[in-house]
Structure 1
Amino acid sequence: MTQSQALTILKTGANVFLTGEPGSGKTYLINEYVAYLRAHEIEPAITASTGIAATHIGGFTIHSWCGIGIKKQLEKRDLEKIASSGYIKKRVNRAKILIIDEISMLLPGTLVMVDAVCRKIKGSAAPFGGLQIVLVGDFFQLPPVVKNEEENVLIKEVSARFAYDSPAWSAANLTVCYLSEQYRQDDATFLNILTAIRCNRFGEDHLCHIEKRKIQQHLAPARAPKLFSHNFDVDRVNEEMLAKLSGEVKAFLMLSKGPRPIVDALKRGCLSPEKLCLKIGAEVMFVKNNLKEGFVNGTLGRVEAFDKTSGWPIVKTRNGRKIQTEPMDWVIEEGGITRAQITQLPLRLAWAITVHKSQGMSMDEAVMDLSGVFEFGQGYVAFSRVRRLAGLHILGWNEKTFLVHPEILSKDKIFRARSSRAKEFLSDMAGAELAKRHENFIVFCEGNLKANENLVQKIGGRWEKKEKIDTHIATFTLWNERKNIAQIANARNLAESTILGHIERLTKQGKIDRDDLSRILTPTPAKALPQIHAAFRELGADALSPVFAKFAGKYSYDELRIARMMYQK
């Protein structure tokens, strides 16, 4: 299913399970849906199963949102107490749409408790009290962490660790939207390896590619982040590497305001530490998105200097951009009012990071020690962080690295089949009927039928007016993040031909080097570039159709267009 088809289904108000492989655009699609709702003056409840995921999306943990906290089960008096809480009651009553991200990390019993709280407060027997429920995630990702002493109790309550086994999941009658497009990996061989692991078809032919990426510790790229299974390895490497650098340590302390429990939850979910120690030469990773400044969550760089006036670090990213990095806010908002806030530089030391904390990140390259993998899917998550096979540097692995949960394999087939049926149902529905369903859901949510396109989502959930920005510059920023044409078009919700036009203009302006265009040219026309350029000299470069005809359609117009950009008369 495409993102557009899934968004169309979401707009009808159907309960949805949104899934897909890493890099298929789940988070992007949810952001599009949230922006659509806010344009119609509807504020969704945005939550996630973990603190880190909640921090990424600027929302609550689902435990905090519905007041269940760390409870493993709800007794009647617990439910009554939660339902009588003024702010919880107001929060749930005001909600029309509940989004839960990283659903794979949520225990089935927790989903039952969320359902019970919503029904109680809404005074409705309907699943989740009649809310539109949108569950987002990929069960091939890391499953919930269960403490050993709780295993027996949990097994008595439910038969498995996965949210889809919850009776609340079944009652919600979820439409499955399985995204099929890929926007992260741009390497066909690597994508085949990831798909093979996901489908339990990983064999010798795939292993031979992995073995070619195995390296010795002393040959590891110095600047590539290192992924480990355990926290103690990460802390050890980062501390050792920082200590090796000469020069003065600069410490940056996190600021906070708001109720302590909420602030503590924000801190637990924030990838920036409470005390960030840096030196010139420190390898760092940005942990928030700021497209205007030229970085996203996962952008890598090195501390070049500290500003003489402000003292803030100046980071040089891998693409050569220098960014004076200033503190950013992580907030939890409710009804447009900030409940809690923490402020810190959006950086962390990036010589090493755990596989768990790497979820949601995209990296150009990474060094991985997977010899300590202890959970199904941990190796798959680690591999899928990087965009291409050449960016994979492996120190070691164990027998569990290439395994995914056997139960998930069979469940995945069911999800794919249900998504196909939903896609067929959507294609059979008349446009007028779809438009009516979209309109009816806006009315149900008490929204404004006339969309206010000047309202957009800001990180952290605030509304603000759209900032005017040169459309070519926005494309240029994404180009500098090494994104390909499809990824830029997807991020900007524009046609690929439009993005090509931007790149052509930027090339003529000298902002994009002609030699750098080779990375978006496929191998076949790249090898034939001298012949194509000879054809331009013979037939002229103003019109592409004569050259297209000369090669009998062997090269597409887009390929010829890129070749023309690289052509110097």
Structure 2
Amino acid sequence: MTQGEALVVLKTGANVFLTGEPGSGKTHAINEFVAWLRASGIEPSITAATGIAATHVGGMTLHSWSGIGIAESLSPADVDRIASKEHIARRIGKAKVLIIEEISMLSAATFEMVDAVCREVRRVDTPFGGLVVVLVGDFFQLPPVSRARELSFAYESATWREFHLLTCYLTEQFRQDDSAFLEVLSAIRSGTVEALHHESLAAREVARDTVPADMPKLFSHNADVDMINAAELAKLAGKSRTFRMTTKGKDTLVEGLKRGCLSPELLELKEGAAVMFTKNSPQAKFVNGTLGAVAGWGSDGMPVVQTKDGRRIATEPMEWQFEEQGKVKASVAQIPLRLAYAMTVHKSQGMSMDAAVMDLSKAFEYGQGYVALSRVRRLSGVYLTGLNARALEVHPEVLEKDKTFRAASEAATDAFAQMPQAEIATMQKKFVKAMGGAWFDGKVSRTKKGRAKTGVGLPGRLAETLQAVRDGKTLKSVAKERGLAVSTIVTHLEELASIGKLARADFIHLVPTNVLDEIHEVLAGATDDKLAPIFHALGGRYSFEAIRLTRLARDR
């Protein structure tokens, strides 16, 4: 299933399991869905199984959202106690659409506990109390963390079976473009690793004392990571500089953001230190995973990083936010860097890297080696200092279950392909209205002169974005003022354009003319409007948002 096909399914309000291989665009698809919901006046509840994943998506852990905390089991009395907490009851009662990221790391027991609390709060005896639920993740990646010996995936729970989820299995690949490497990853995923795959990986083995010093190293254990980062920084001459994280909001929410943020609370750097960016730049100067070294300090004392491709980037603090019901409840700000000498495989999940050194000699979990290897874009970027048999294994139960997921996705693809567009539009309209949102059917009110009327029938979200853009503000300032992501603002503009309420003059100032011309030239030579090929053809110099705005300008 393509991202576009998955979005069609998501917009009908079905309960969905969105899955696919690493790099297949799960996060992008969910971001697009979230932007569409918000443009329609529907605020989703965004959660994740881990703190790191929650920070990536601007949400909170499912454990905190539901109030279950670290409990491994709940009695009826426990469920009643949690459901009676005012802030939990208010949060769950107001929720409409619940998104759960990294579902592979959530145990069946935890999944059922959250279900029990939702049913109790909402007084509806259906899965999650009747919420629209979207589960996102890949069960081939890291499994649930459990103190008990027995492992149970969320799909093994009674709640999962009762859901009757539609499965959307994304099959496109946006991270890796190396066919030989993709073949190795596919072999690991399908449990068919053979001698030729071992040979491909063996060709990437290096001695520990010959690995590139400024390249990130992935380990299975925290102890190795801490030791290497401290030792490598100590080797550098010169005085270190420290940058302390600043915070806003409730302490418990701030602590959750701190735990999930890949940049440390106290960042210690020296000139020459190998670093990695931990966040995507709104101006596309860097992405989460861009590598470089501290080249010096700016006039403001902030680090200046020289990237692997020779660019010099002056850094500044960026924010990680927790949003609820469209409002920023807490935030932390830090330089979006971390030492790049070493990190755990666990913390690398969800990242894309140009290259990495990996010691998988102590891999102990199914999927650990698969996650590490699939972070890197090409086989030439893999440097192996150790590899054990477990590193190339995926969970046998998941291997079997994956066949069911693929078949279910194919059935869903066929079913929607055969539906008349009018029927799909009706389903989507009913969903939006049931959630209390605003539906646009493409009809445009016009003045006697034939111009679209401004603000007629627009929900507050779109009207506010349109006014802010017409005031001549930059994309970044509009997003900051609205407390929304830059991509959400662009989605608002696309929605406004689709209903005839956006003129080219309204937004053309958002992209510099020279950038507009360069992107337009690449768009003109492209065979389709898929964003990833355009982004890569431009060498990653411009953001996806700039490309989307240029495409929008072309079509006006």
**TM-score w.r.t. structure 2 length?**
0.82
Task: Specify the alignment match of 2:80 in structure 1.
Answer: 80
Partner of 1:12: 12
Residues 2 and 461 of structure 1, relative CA distance in 2, 3 Å threshold = farther
Report what 2:32 is aligned to. 32
1:270-281 paired onto structure 2 within 5 Å = 270-281=261-272
How far does the alpha carbon of each residue in 1:214-272 deviate from its partner, in whole angstroms, 9 at most, with x for none? 11112212222111111111111111111111111001111223332222211111111
Report the counterpart of residue 269 of structure 1 in structure 2: 260
Q: Does residue 113 of the first structure (1) align with residue 103 of the second (2)?
A: no
Cα displacement string for residues 265-320 of structure 1 (whole angstroms, at most 9, x for unaligned residues): 11111111111100010111111111315111111111111113x21111111222
How far apart are 1:15 and its partner, in Å? 0.4
* Shift in Å, 1:471: 8.4
- Equivalent position SS for 1:252: strand
Who is 1:353 aligned against?
343
SS of the counterpart of 1:276?
A: strand
1:363 corresponds to which of 353, 356, 362 = 353
Q: Secondary structure at the match of 2:408?
A: helix
1:167 corresponds to? 158
- Residue 383 (structure 1) aligned with residue 379 (structure 2): no
Letter in 1 for 2:155: Y
User: Could you tell me whether the CA contact under 8 Å between 1:28 and 1:491 is conserved in 2?
Assistant: no
Residue 144 of structure 2 corresponds to 144
Amino acid at match of 2:311: R
Please point out which of 178, 195, 199 is paired with 1:187: 178
> Which of 316, 327, 331 is the matching residue for 1:337?
327
Alignment: residue pair count: 485
SS at 2:18's partner residue? strand
Is 2:394 the counterpart of 1:404? yes
Asked if 1 retains the 8 angstrom alpha-carbon contact of 2:328 and 2:483, the reply is no
Q: Deviations over 1:390-438 (max 9, x none)?
A: 1111111111111111111100011001111111111111110000001
The answer to whether the Cα contact below 8 Å between 1:59 and 1:461 also exists between their aligned partners in 2 is no
Amino acid at match of 1:334: E
Give, in angstroms, the shift of residue 168 of structure 1.
Answer: 1.1
Q: Distance in 2 between matches of 1:74 and 1:186?
A: 46
What does 1:166-315 align with in structure 2 at a 5 Å threshold?
166-308=157-299, 310-315=300-305
Which runs of structure 2 are paired with 1:431-450 in the superposition (5 Å)? 431-450=421-440
Inter-partner Cα distance in structure 1 for 2:69 and 2:437 = 30
Structure 2 counterpart of 1:360, one-letter code: G
Asked whether the equivalents of residues 365 and 392 of structure 1 are also in contact (C-alpha less than 8 Å), the reply is yes
In structure 2, distance between residues paired with 1:280 and 1:118:
51
Q: Distance in 2 between matches of 1:355 and 1:175?
A: 30
Other structure's SS at 1:301 match: strand
The corresponding residue for 1:374 is: 364
Corresponding residue of 1:552: none
- TM-superposed CA distance for 1:62, in Å, is 0.5
* Partners of 1:130 and 1:93 in 2: CA distance: 11
Paired residue secondary structure (2:53): helix
Q: 1:470 offset after TM fit, Å?
A: 4.2
1:555 corresponds to: none
2-structure distance, mates of 1:187, 1:51 = 31
The unaligned stretches of length 5 or more in structure 1 are 480-484, 513-569
Letter in 2 for 1:311: G
Q: CA deviation at 1:331?
A: 1.8
Partner of 1:551: none
- Inter-partner Cα distance in structure 2 for 1:385 and 1:488: 27
Q: Quick one: distance in 2 between partners of 1:113 and 1:489?
A: 43
* SS at 1:303 equivalent: strand
Q: What amino acid maps onto 1:69 in structure 2?
A: G
Describe the shift of the 1:475–1:4 C-alpha distance in structure 2 as closer, same or farther (beyond 3 A).
farther
1:469 counterpart residue number: 511
Q: Secondary structure at the match of 2:390?
A: coil
Q: Could you say which residue in structure 2 is the equivalent of 1:562?
A: none
Q: Distance in 1 between matches of 2:483 and 2:178?
A: 34
**1:349-389 CA-partner distances (Å, limit 9, x unpaired):** 00111111110111111111110111111111111010011
Cα distance change, pair 82–486 in 1 and its aligned pair in 2 (3 A): farther
CA distance in structure 1 between the aligned counterparts of 2:246 and 2:418, rounded to whole angstroms: 54
CA distance in 1, matches of 2:406, 2:284: 39
Query: 2:317: which partner in 1?
Result: 327
Whether the 8 Å CA contact 2:228–2:341 is kept in 1: the answer is yes
Query: The residue matched to 1:432 in structure 2 has which SS?
Result: helix
Letter in 2 for 1:327: P
Matched, 1:55 2:97: no
1:335 is displaced (CA, Å) by 2.2
Mark the CA change 1:251 to 1:162 in structure 2 (over 3 Å): closer, same or farther: same
Matching residue's letter, 1:252: F
- List alignment gaps of at least 5 residues for structure 2: 441-457, 467-474, 491-506, 543-556
Distance in 2 of aligned mates of 1:15 and 1:487: 34
Matched, 1:421 2:463: no
Gap change, CA 1:472 and 1:400, over 3 Å in 2: farther
Deviations 1:193-227 (A, max 9, x none): 00000001100011111111111112212222111
Q: In 2, Cα distance between the equivalents of 1:379 and 1:71?
A: 29
Q: After the TM superposition, which of the residue ranges 407-416 and 332-341 deviates more from structure 2? A: 332-341
Q: Match of 1:331, SS?
A: strand
| Bigger CA radius of gyration | 1
Pair 1:124–1:321, CA change in 2 (3 A): same
CA contact (8 A) 1:293 1:323 kept: no
- Find the aligned partners of 1:53 and 1:245 in 2 and give their Cα distance: 32
Partners of 2:380 and 2:411 lie apart in 1 by: 37
In 2, Cα distance between equivalents of 1:268 and 1:384: 24
Contact 1:58 1:461 in 2 (8 A): no
Aligned partner letter, 1:235: D
Q: CA 1:58/1:487 → structure 2, altered by over 3 Å: closer, same or farther?
A: farther
Query: Is residue 2:43 matched to residue 1:43?
Result: yes
TM-score normalised by length of structure 1 = 0.81
In 2, the alpha carbon distance for the partners of 1:165 and 1:79 equals: 21
Partner of 1:524: none
CA contact (8 A) 2:99 2:136 kept: yes
Check conservation: 2:327, 2:483, Cα contact below 8 A: no
- Secondary structure at 1:400 match in 2: helix
Check 1:187–1:472 CA distance in 2 against 1; reply closer, same or farther (3 A cut).
Answer: farther
Counterpart mapping for 1:550-569 below 5 A: none
Counterpart CA distance in 2 for 1:208 and 1:55 is: 38
RMSD: 2.7
Report if the CA contact (8 A) 1:475-1:488 is conserved. Answer: no
How far residue 144 of structure 1 moved from its aligned partner, in angstroms, is 1.2
Match of 2:385, SS state, is strand
Distance 1:50 1:44 in 2: 18
- Contact 1:266/1:342, CA 8 A, preserved across alignment: yes
- Superposition deviation, residue 490 in structure 1: 4.0
> In 1, Cα distance between the equivalents of 2:528 and 2:33?
19
Amino acid at match of 2:264: P
